[in-house]
Amino acid sequence: MTEVEAKKPQESLQDRLSQVIDLLHRHKLVEDLTHRQEGHHHELVENLVHRQNLAELQRKLDELHPADVAHILEALPLNDRLTVWQLVKAERDGDILLEVSDAVRESLIADMDDHEILAAAKEMDADELADLAPELPRDVVHELMESLDAQQRERVRSALSYEEDQVGALMDFEMVTIRDDVALEVVLRYLRRLKELPGHTDKLFVVDYDGILKGVLSIKRLLVNDPEKLVAEVMANDPVSFHPDDDAYDAAQAFERYDLISAPVVEKNGKLIGRLTIDAMVDLIREESESEVLSMAGLREEEDIFASVWKSVRNRWAWLAINLITAFVASRVIGMFEGSIEKLVALAALMPIVAGIGGNSGNQTITMIVRAMALDQVGTGNTSRLLRKELVVALINGLVWGGVIGAVAYGLYGSWSLGVVMTAAMTLNLLLAALMGVLIPMTLVRLGRDPAMGSSVMITAMTDSGGFFIFLGLATLFLL
């Protein structure tokens, strides 16, 4: 049974989460009882049960991979999360902190005193410290830096000097470097002396005496070639490498495209300073797609689903406020035509159809374009072609679906001219949606903004106000 569990990490992960929640509930139930019952005898018994539950929970947690503990912490509301966090062995704190999301990490660190934080940080590598540092209290960071040796301190400083989305902020410093004038045999003996290789070591970095990168020796080649050969004969001379100020997303795409496991990071003069590994790139790919989804919906950042109400309100505030303004504008557009609506109240019932379908269609277009932009498929060369295609699709959809809804309007209100206005308005609004669906993300990119940012809110604003104006305007011109 245990073997099967170990081989299906995902299934057992859900099981484990349930087990932890179950143990927590039993723990709380006992606490409630203890509070209610005042008799000394009862208290003793329940304390015992209570402690047994916690001990079992602790044992469960000790068996888990830090990434699994992190997952459980993220899926628990704040109170339960901190109960579990206090049960985790101190020496594992560091590993787990590195695995949780930023929002959850903040809640965990807030629960630790300086001494605990320092202990957790002691085991970390320079790049991990740099990850953590921005969220730590300033005096803790100071004390931490003091405790490092000069090289480590320099590395942390260097990693901290780059923006979050630059290669320099994601590189690590653990790598094996070799010279090119030795035999593979010597390399093999050297590795054996190291006792342990850094994670994701699929290649060794070949440098000269000044630390300039000359090539890479893949472990695969090291293993299959004659041990008497020299490194220089076997190594690849022109590996894919990155500069620390390169865009991290571009690096992630290169990892994906060329199926890399690790790659060297070099300074402008060719000096090797670190490496990127696939695990950091996978996290980045995941984060990138998350932030795309979130920003399309007008959410500012990843929200811990158990974040406090106040935090959630703040996260959603900005775009709701913008939406309020756009909705108000749409409302004023309708206000301009109040006279028409008073004369023909059917307009009020039909206008949201025009606006709604336009919004939906525009969202489809903008989603496509934002996707294609993220994949670097949209350049200056093909904008007009894309726009033309979207407009033709919109025209077809407008005539077909607009025709259907026009017929329905005729059926409901018995006016064929109302039906024609409906069809025309739908078609025009879908064309507007297509135009804006292409132009909004293109404009955002040209302004140096994220094309996904609130794009859904903006396109809906356009198709609402536009749809009302087109439909009510046509109706006023031709029906009244």
Q: Which of residues 184-223 bind a second copy (CB under 8 A)?
A: 188, 191-192, 194-197, 199-202, 219-220, 223
The minimum distance between CB 432 and a second copy, in angstroms, equals 16
Q: Are 480 and 344 within 8 A, CB to CB?
A: yes
Binding segment toward a second copy, per CB under 8 A, in 87-95, 133-141, 285-293, 440-448: 285-293
Q: Is 315 helix (H, G, I), strand (E, B) or coil?
A: helix
The Cα–Cα gap between 386 and 57 comes to 57
Residues between 358 and 377 that touch a second copy (CB under 8 A) = 359-361, 363-364, 367-372, 375-377
Sketch the per residue contact string, 73 through 102, with a second copy: x for CB under 8 A, - otherwise: -xxxx-------------------------
Closest CA to 350 of 402, 428, 391: 402
Binding segment toward a second copy, per CB under 8 A, in 36-44, 144-152, 157-165, 336-344: 336-344
Figure out which of the listed residues 44, 412, 477, 480 binds a second copy, where binding follows CB under 8 A: 412
Question: Would you count residue 292 as binding a second copy (CB under 8 A)?
Answer: yes
Cβ proximity to a second copy, 89 vs 314, nearer residue: 314
The minimum distance between CB 82 and a second copy, in angstroms, equals 15
Other Cβ atoms less than 10 A from the Cβ of 410: the count is: 17
Half-sphere exposure of 467 (CA within 13 A, CB side): 34
Cβ proximity to a second copy, 77 vs 137, nearer residue: 77
Residues between 451 and 480 that touch a second copy (CB under 8 A) = 456-457, 460, 464, 468
Residues between 339 and 358 that touch a second copy (CB under 8 A) = 341-342, 345-353, 355-357
The Cα–Cα gap between 66 and 56 comes to 18
The Cα–Cα gap between 385 and 70 comes to 47
Residues between 104 and 143 that touch a second copy (CB under 8 A) = none
The Cα–Cα gap between 159 and 124 comes to 14
Cβ proximity to a second copy, 18 vs 161, nearer residue: 18
**Number of residues that this document lists for the chain:** 480
Figure out which of the listed residues 44, 55, 282, 477 binds a second copy, where binding follows CB under 8 A: 282
Q: Are 299 and 316 within 8 A, CB to CB?
A: yes
DSSP per-residue codes, 66-92 = HHHHHHHHHTS-HHHHHHHHHHS-GGG
Partners of residue 265 on adjacent β-strands: 242, 274
The minimum distance between CB 356 and a second copy, in angstroms, equals 4
How many chain residues bind a second copy (CB under 8 A)? Answer: 142
